[in-house]
Amino acid sequence: MTYSKEEKAMWLDDWRKSGKGAWAYAKENGLIAQTFVGWTKREQKEKSGFVELKPKIKSQLRLSGILIEKGDIKIHLPCGASGNDLSAVIECLRAAV
pLDDT in tens, 46-92: 776 665 555 554 555 445 777 777 777 777 778 777 777 778 777 77
pLDDT for 76 equals: 78
Beta carbons of 17 and 23 less than 8 angstroms apart: no
Q: Is the pLDDT of residue 13 over 90?
A: yes
Residue in 93, 96, 4, 81 with CA at minimum distance from that of residue 49: 93
Q: Determine the pLDDT at residue 72.
A: 73
Calculate the alpha carbon distances from 45 to 29, 40, 97 in Å.
24, 9, 23
Give me the chain's average pLDDT, please: 79
